[in-house]
Every structure is written in structure tokens, then in C-alpha cells.
Chain A
């Protein structure tokens, strides 16, 4: 049941963050996913990230749709409100929640079925609105919860557990996001916490929507030899575009780190994200170049990972709509009601 996990004396050895909380305080209920499911590793990365950035648990809001992936918000941060909503509709409900209260921090956890089929329209429009949230896709190429049908992210030639091959071209959330103006795009691998944690930190610091696609093998239905979303295949074909360094606000940038091939982007909250480009000349702030690079590498069978693109100059939903700073759910009624006198004279217009 919900209750904030307070710093507990039982774990005196556990390290505490600036709120005095241990990493245990960022956990949720026991996962009911299959042992070895990629989604559980992502949950662990989320827990670590939130602990490291000292997120006050009750100021976090966890949103999801329906799917194995969408169950995971129950498995992290007990002390946060969550909403396990309807299949594909997470972006709409999150957009509404953010409309009502811009002060909280939002993470939406989705699957490739949830976001690339039934909810693809909603995802695209949430991207276009630059809704300020971390939008995480736990991408396994199948519908886990309904027992292994191909999803829209299954690669051509990828084989189902029963041996059928997929013939349709996949929808790649990264390319899709880039093509419709996503302002933060990353791809990672559930098995790579070292890469995922700094990406997630940067994602939480982003001004608008941070789209994070994480390859997350489904051990039950899609981790066999014909699958391109298996542990083995992903490890073999991964090509890193960047390495990310997250520097929290007001932290001196260490001079010892070489600035060779490094792009620094100052995030909305004052933190700095430093990308080290692995292939020479990779520029994570140039949308066109990023898209052509990704296309080129992907056509030769590589899965490009890293924080791939970021643009901190684009207004989020609220900024674009000139909404007041105070959360809309907290404005005093006196501010909202024009009153009887106004109603009386405004009706002269209707005479």
C-alpha cells in the first residue's frame, strides 16, 4: 500500500541522498514480471536515477498505459502517485495531468505496443506539444502481456517464437520522434544501466518531452535467436553515438575531463549535459545530421544508442500557451470567477 518509505534505521549502511533517503525509499512493490524481463532492469535504473537526483517521492507522478511495461510504475517509488490507465492513452492522460499541475515531475512508462500501435497518434501529438515529461518506451518488439504477437517495432525478418517472420517495416520511435520535432531523443538498452542512468538524469532535466527508447528484451516471447530485440542481438549490434555525462546544477565542471569531441548543453534547470561523441563529428544538437547518421547506421544493421539529440530552446506546452506559473489546479476560486457584477454587465452584449 502507498506510504512513503522514510529513511529507516534498519539500513544504516545504505547511503543517503540529499533528502536523507536511501535507494530503498525509491522502490515500489514486488515486480510480478517474468524473471529476467528487461523491464525490471529499467525499473532498477529509474530507481537509481531518482535516488541520485534526490527526487522528493511525492512530487513524482508515474503514468502508464497497459502492458507488461505499463505495470512497472507500481514497482518503483512507493511514495509517488501513479496512474496505470488505458492501453495507448497514457500520453493523453499525462498531458491533462501536466496541464493541471506544471510543478510536479512526470514519467510515463509505455511499451512498443502501447506507444507505436494503439497510442501512436497520442504519442506523436504529445511530442509535438513538447509536454514536459520523461516518455519511456520499454521496447521489446512484441506484445508481452497478450503473449507475444509482433509489435510495430519488430524488425523485418525478425522471427516470432513460433518461427513466423515479420515482413513489415518497423516503426522506430527514435526516427519518428526526430522527424516530428522531438526535443530530446535517446536510445538505450535495458542491460546497460551505466548508460541509461545518466540519460534518464538528463531526461528529467529537459525543458520539454524527453523521449527515451529502451530496448528491453522479453525473455518469454522474444529473446530467441531469430529475434532482433534479444539480449544477444542487441549487445552484438549496438553502436554508441554518444556517452553522456550529467552534471547537476551548480556543480563545477571538472577541468580534468577532456573537452575533446564534447558538446555541452545547459538544461532548463541549470544542469549541464555533456555528450561525448563517439564517432567523430557526431553533433547531438543538429537534427538533420543526427537523422542521416542514424539512418545510415541502421541500414547497416547497427542499433545506435546514447543521448542522440537535445534541443533546449523549444517552449514546452505551458510556455507555448502562456499559462501562469502557478499550477492551474491551485488557483484560488476568486481568481477564476468573474463574479455577479461582471456577469450582469457582460450580458448587455446579448441584448
Chain B
């Protein structure tokens, strides 16, 4: 399998073990960006603790010329900069790999391994000699190990220098100390080790039309381009940077150049109950509004999501999922909010979900969320996650079509209302079962009382069963109609007997797993679901395959459950593959999961299910 045999030119993985709050993030980012600028496919995964300073934190860089950049679990090089975690870090390096460590202090003998090569560099000692301030010494130690990596991995030095120049434009002294630190590590490596190591980098041209961006920044940009003017939120990891980025973009692109006044309003609410309330109020009043949150926030927002659903008010909610339940692990990733979001709130409720797999889709789907929320007059939730949202990804440059105009849905204008004898809020649904709405202040004929209590199609209060049912039945039909509007699934099919279904940020790891299995003669078709309600193609794919593995990052097989609940597919035609410990998915875990559900038939070399109950459940293909 490629996973254990990688380690060559442009094919390796580095793990950097640091202490959080010491400035390592900046050094690790520098390395990522330099590799990106060398034109090589790369990914960086930040495995950080929920803490401000002093706890272990890791950063993983995977380089893969062929473009497989899901998390890799076999590390060719460990940059061990945290004595607290030496023991486990050194254990994790693959046999034949390398450990770079700070030799200012001797390494405990018990930590030595025969099968890995140790690269000792006295970072602390050298930085203490060169720099005077304690804080500077700590910071520069990080840049120094970056310098060593530049030497042993053959990172392009002019690119790194160029990055330092850009980063410290106007801060000459800072740039100089960074340069010096870089040189310290670089020169030491050149002098003491044979550079580069057997696995290293070579310039490519895979990135000229690409960018390096995290999903939260791309989401925020999508909200700007969608024309959102009101945002309300309550700080929560890992969603906070959505609003930080939105604010930054608004300050740049939404401030009137003449008047200096803001064409937007961002409110830091008192809690998530309020944040979603503000979004609903603003959307009711005709603005494009959104909130960003994570699972704990969605739990609080349940109440008003039901109000928006029932009274048919658009609302956009960006859910950057993290590990639950409860506070869970705030800095770890999961796909645990699928069911909660699909059916958020009491009573019969169903929502529209858009599920991006990477930052480029975050941008597109953010825009789409607003269009669908207004077209269908209902909350739309975009389910991102910590891995997508907070890690830097190499994705194609974002594209924009200047011909785009927001789809505001059915909103009656002053002109429409002027001659309207009577306005009935929930009557006369269109082909998608959406009735026209009105916005306050436009025309007296449009006035009515919006309510979350029982109402009939005229918008009047009701407690009459038939009147109540007429409205909620239309809501169900409306939700069904949205299936044709959410992004269609991505399908890669070669007529295989079995398929793999996945969702969101699992994409890269699952695609890699499919390719690796293919090399072993096991052929699987692939489908990534991108929206709920499910498009027809989702059910077709399942029916076309005898058996599908459903790969997702949660314990309870939530996507699997949703597929069973919302389509006619029998439960045992789907096999859950679940990885939910909190780290980004790797192909190895997917393969392990698939193989535990199956065995290879010695005679035919074909994959067979472990549970042999297929006959009974086989549907016509």
C-alpha cells in the first residue's frame, strides 16, 4: 500500500511536535506556504489542544506529488520539539524514518530506537547564544527548526526568504532576526547531516492556479459575495474565524469610500439563542443575514430554527462541526451534527443542508446557502467542520461570475402589492410549494402578523386540524422540492458491484482509499453527498450497488441513518465505516473500516461481505 511505502521525492509526511503558545504555528505555516509555492501538492493539519499556552500541539505536513493530501499516519520525519511528548512522538515515526530533536539537552536513553535515524540539533543553545530576550529566544527556536527543514528537505531557500520579506514588510529588525534564526538551523544541518534526506522536495507546477486557504476564510468570503449585510454570532471554536474573516473583508470591501460608513452590521450576541434570533429578525426584514457556530450553538439555536422553519423565514447558519457531545473536544474535528441539523427543533421539522468538502466548496456553498434560504424561505445550514474550516487547504482559485444576482425568492414588491386586493401569507404556493412573502414597511397591503403558533394558509391563527395540516403538508412538499436545488452528489462510477458513500471533509481520504484498494484489485464506486434533502441521484447510486460503505466521522452512523430514513434503501445494503476520534480522516482508517466489513474471496479475488445476508436484501439493479 502506498501509505506505508511512501517516502521519496515529493512523497512523505512530517509531524511537528510543539508546545502551544510558543509561536510554532508561524514557523509551520511558513513551511507549508513554501512547499505550496514550490508547486507541490501539500496539506497541513493542525492538531491543537483546547488551551492557550503550555500544552502539546502537533502539526502534520503531507507532501504528495500525485495529489493525495488527506492525513497520512506514517511519519517519515518527526520534528520533536516538545520534551513532554518525546516518548509518544518518537514511537510514531515509521521504521527507517528520522527524528529531529533539540539536543541542547541529552535525550533519555530509553527513547532511542534502533530503526530510526536521530538528527540532533542544539536549537535552544544556539538561539540563546544569538538572541537576548526570552520571548525572542523561544520564537526564534521555531524559525531555526524551519531552517533545518529547509536544508534537509531541500525547500527552496529563495522562496522562504521571499516569504519572510512579505511577512515582515516594514519590520526590518524582525525580518533580520527571523533570517538569522533560519540560517542558524540551516547552516547547522548543512554542516552536520547529509542534505537532503532521501525523501525531499522537488519543484513542480501543480499549484499555479491554486490557492492555500482555510475553509472559514473561504466561507466568509462567500458571505460577502452573497451580499450578506447582517451577521450575528457568539464566539465558539472552530467557528470564530468565520466571523473574524467576515469582519476583515467587510472592513476592506464594504466600507463606503465616500462616507466611511459601513454597509454591514456584525453583532456579537449575548448567546446563540440571540444570534439566531437576530438572523431571523434581519432576514424577516429583508436583509441577507447569517450566523456561524458549532454544535453547542446549534443545540441552543434549535428553538428558533423551528420558528423560522414554521413561519417560513430564511436564515443561514454556518455550522463548523467539532467533537461532541456537550463541550466535547472543541479543537478536534467530527461530523456529529448531521442529524441534529437535519431535524433541528421540536415538532415535524426538516431542514436544508449543504455539505462542502473543502474551502473552495465552502465559498460556493455559502453563496448557495443564501439563495436557497431565500428561494425556499427556510433555514439553510452549511455543515463544515474543524478540519475544513481551520486547516489550510490547496484548492483551485475561487471563481466569481459577475452576472450572478442573488435569488431573493418570492418577495412581493411595492408594485406587486399596490393593486393586490388581499395578501395571504401562506396561500398560492408555486411549483416548489413556496408562497410569496412581504417585507415590513414596503406597502400597507403586505402587512400581516408572522407567528410561530398554529396558522392557516392565510396566515391567521388556527387550532383547526385541517387548516394546520394543510400548512405543514405544504412545508413537507417544499422540503422535498429542495432536493433538486441542493448541490448534486459527486459520483465516480465504473459499474462496480459495491460502492462507497461519504460526506464533507472525508472526501480526500476516501478517494485515496478507493484508489489504494483499486491497486489491490478491489474496485469500488464512489459517491460524495453534498446536500440534504437527498437528490434522486443519491438513491439511484445506492440501488445500483449491491452494497455501499458509508464513511463518516461520528459514532452513530448519522449519515447512514439519514439515508435509511429518507430513502427507500434497506438498512443492510449500507455498511457504516465510522472514524470519530477527532483527528482528520486518513485513507488507512477507511481501508481498515472497509476490510473489517468484508473479506477477500481467495478464488475470485473479490471483496465479499462478512455478514452473508445479502441474498435476502438484494434489490434489482
Contacts and interface: CB of A to CB of B under 8 A. Distances in A.
Contacts of B225: 337-338, 343
B447 A347 contact: no
A259 interface: no
B449 A321 contact: no
Instruction: Name, among B36, B212, B282, the residue most crowded by chain A CB atoms within 10 Å (CB to CB).
Output: B282
Contacts of B284: 83, 93, 96-97
A208 interface: no
Contact of B307 (A85, A95, A339, A340): A85
B40 interface: no
B22 interface: no
B154 interface: no
Contact of B447 (A81, A98, A103, A331): A81
Given A96-B230, A100-B285, A351 B37 contact: yes
A322 B259 CA distance: 10
B289 interface: yes
B263 A97 contact: no
Contacts of B213: 347, 350
B403 to A, nearest CB: 10
A73 interface: yes
Contacts of A79: 444, 447
Contacts, number: 235
Contacts of B422: 1, 3
Instruction: Name, among A59, A91, A317, A340, the residue most crowded by chain B CB atoms within 10 Å (CB to CB).
Output: A340
A57 interface: yes
Contact of A337 (B227, B287, B397): B227
A86 B400 CA distance: 39
B402 interface: yes
Contact of A331 (B263, B280, B307, B452): B263
A83 B312 CA distance: 12
Instruction: Name, among B260, B397, B438, B458, the residue most crowded by chain A CB atoms within 10 Å (CB to CB).
Output: B397
Interface in A74-90: 74, 78-86, 89
Contacts of A83: 281, 284, 449-451
A90 to B, nearest CB: 8
Interface string B219-245: 001001101011010000000000000
A171 interface: no
Contact of B452 (A81, A86, A95, A330): A86
Nearest to A332: B227
Given A121-B271, A336-B254, A343-B225, A323 B448 contact: no
A150 B451 CA distance: 26
A149 to B, nearest CB: 20
Interface string A316-351: 011001111100111101011111101110010011
B348 interface: no
A270 interface: no
Contacts of B230: 96, 99-100, 328
Contacts of A93: 277-278, 280-281, 284
A104 interface: yes
A16 B254 CA distance: 44
A4 interface: yes
A99 B282 contact: yes
Interface string A30-69: 0000000000000000000000000001110110000000
A117 interface: no
A292 interface: no
B392 to A, nearest CB: 9
B400 A340 contact: yes
A333 B262 contact: no
B277 A96 contact: yes
Nearest to B450: A83
A99 B450 contact: no
A325 B262 CA distance: 9
Nearest to B218: A350
B445 interface: yes
Instruction: Name, among B260, B444, B446, B448, the residue most crowded by chain A CB atoms within 10 Å (CB to CB).
Output: B444
A104 B441 contact: yes
A86 B449 contact: no
B109 interface: no
A297 interface: no
A95 B281 contact: yes
A298 interface: no
Interface string B192-208: 00000000000000000
Nearest to A341: B402
A331 B259 CA distance: 15
Nearest to B229: A328
A69 to B, nearest CB: 15
Given A83-B284, A321-B262, A321-B265, A100 B445 contact: no
B274 interface: yes
A103 B286 CA distance: 13
B405 A101 contact: no
A2 interface: yes
B45 to A, nearest CB: 18
B447 A58 contact: yes
B279 interface: yes
Interface in B247-293: 253-254, 256, 259-267, 269-271, 273-287, 289
A1 B427 CA distance: 13
Interface in B348-382: none
- Lowest 5 A-B CB distances belong to which pairs? A96-B281, A92-B277, A4-B444, A96-B278, A100-B287
Given A329-B285, A330-B286, 20 more contacts: A3-B447, A58-B441, A61-B440, A81-B446, A82-B447, A85-B452, A86-B277, A89-B307, A91-B277, A92-B278, A93-B280, A96-B278, A97-B284, A98-B281, A100-B229, A317-B267, A322-B261, A324-B256, A350-B212, A350-B213
Interface of A: 1-4, 57-59, 61-62, 73-74, 78-86, 89, 91-101, 103-104, 121-122, 124-125, 129, 317-318, 321-325, 328-331, 333, 335-340, 342-344, 347, 350-351
9 contacts: A1-B458, A81-B440, A91-B274, A92-B274, A99-B289, A121-B271, A321-B262, A323-B264, A347-B211
